Amino acid sequence: MYGVISGYTSDYRVVFRDARYGNKVLDMCNHLSVTRAQGETHKRRVEMFRRLSVICLLLLSLVSVSASATEACTILTATQDDRVFFGNNEDYSNPDTYYWVVPPGNGTYGGVFFGFDDLWPQGGVNEMGLAFDINALPEAPLNPNPELPGLYDYEGYIALKNCATVDEAVELLSGYDWGEAMWGQIHLADAKGDAVVISAGPDGELSFTKKAKGDGALVSTNFNLAFTPDDERTGLCCRYDEAVELLEACGDGGLTSEFVRGVLDAVHVEGAYSNTLYSSVFDLRNGVIDVYYFHQYDEAVRLVVADELARAHEPVPLRDLFSETTVERASEEQSRYVLQDRIGNILELSSAVAVIVCGYYLFRRVRSRQTLSPP
């Protein structure tokens, strides 16, 4: 090839002695140039499409994040002197809330339970003063134990039907295979003032986060207590922080049902996707429950556990316990939030469609420009 090149022009173009060789070489060079240009164009298109896809996904996640129904829930155990209180905010989107009674059986304790129209117990207390409630959590893996018997009922039912204290509940529940994952943590407390939160630990085994003996409090919200030491929990959840701060500020003799109500009021939630549907304060020493409907803390209904067990009635909608004024206020507020929810869904769907259309349009524009551009 060198023998057919006679030199270079001032702009570095090759000069051939024989035009035939020059044409062949130029054809080869042009072919390589076009192929290389096509490859670079394809790479640019792929990269542009990838970037647009990422942008679309990010925008879609931003417009849809508000539609995620928050399962909040704040649970606390507080003790002072001879007083033991267990409080809970049930935060969710289903307004059909109920309470029901499971009477004592042959060798089992009776209890009062709270939940929704599916009658899956979200919380409750038995005649011995053992109470429980549940925080929703992201899925956490568990190591299966197939050599142990599987849970034959809801964990709360198993504990409250068969146990009088937290220690008994821990021993009993530790003897079951809980499967391969947990989607929550169970907060238990008893009339002695002991409390524990059962959750999946970092090692995949059941973890038991216990309240310190004596006066004090144990609070759980929607982060796994087993994954975070006590001195590192501040800042993980604003409801947790506020509840802990208020309970720590409770002065001597200040722990009452009304005080716990105030804590629950301070951390209740309202919104189009999640509301504090009911709050309950269990006086575990005296066997009474103060119930509040739809974060309206100016009206309390008191249930006496012994009286409820004696009646052993059918499930009762919580709204039937309260005055017409309280129920109407709750219904009006719920209707406003349902309307906000529907409007929000329409706006989010419209935004999602707009993002997809814009992304597709931009991609087509970029592709057409690159196609029309000379290599």
What's the total number of domains in the chain? Answer: 2
Determine phi and psi for 88, rounding to 5 degrees.
-150, 140
Cα distances from 285 to residues 45, 280, 289, 310, 369, in angstroms, run 70, 15, 11, 19, 77
Q: Does residue 220 sit within a domain?
A: yes
219 lies in the same domain as 312: yes
> Given pLDDT bands bounded at 50, 70 and 90, which one contains residue 9?
very low
Residue keyed to tokens 């238990």: 188
Pairing of strands 275-283, 83-92: antiparallel
Digit-coded pLDDT (tens) for 180-216: 999 999 999 999 999 999 999 999 999 999 999 999 9
CATH number at residue 181: 3.60.60.10
Q: Residues for the chain: how many in total? A: 375
Residue keyed to tokens 């009006």: 332
Mean pLDDT score across all residues of the chain? 85
Cα distances from 94 to residues 109, 149, 319, 337, 345, in angstroms, run 29, 33, 13, 12, 17
296 lies in the same domain as 171: yes
H/E element, 316:
strand 316-317
Cα distances from 7 to residues 3, 16, 26, 112, 246, in angstroms, run 10, 7, 15, 101, 90
108 lies in the same domain as 218: yes
89 lies in the same domain as 218: yes
Mean pLDDT to the nearest integer, 80-85: 97
Q: Is 0.85 surpassed by the pTM of this model?
A: no
123 lies in the same domain as 256: yes
Digit-coded pLDDT (tens) for 214-240: 999 999 999 999 999 999 999 999 999
Q: Does residue 79 sit within a domain?
A: yes
45 lies in the same domain as 100: no
Cα(336)–Cα(371) distance, integer angstroms: 52
176 lies in the same domain as 233: yes
Other Cβ atoms within 10 Å of 343 Cβ, number? 11
CB within 8 Å of 44: residues ≥ 6 apart: 370
244 lies in the same domain as 367: no
Digit-coded pLDDT (tens) for 266-321: 999 998 789 999 999 999 999 999 999 999 999 999 999 999 999 988 999 999 99
Q: Does residue 274 sit within a domain?
A: yes
49 lies in the same domain as 181: no
Digit-coded pLDDT (tens) for 38-82: 556 555 655 655 665 555 555 555 444 444 445 579 999 999 999
Q: Does residue 328 sit within a domain?
A: no
Q: Does residue 334 sit within a domain?
A: no
The pLDDT value recorded for residue 350 is 72
Domain of residue 255, residue span: 74-322
215 lies in the same domain as 352: no
Q: Does residue 340 sit within a domain?
A: no
Digit-coded pLDDT (tens) for 143-160: 999 999 999 999 999 999
121 lies in the same domain as 39: no
88 lies in the same domain as 177: yes
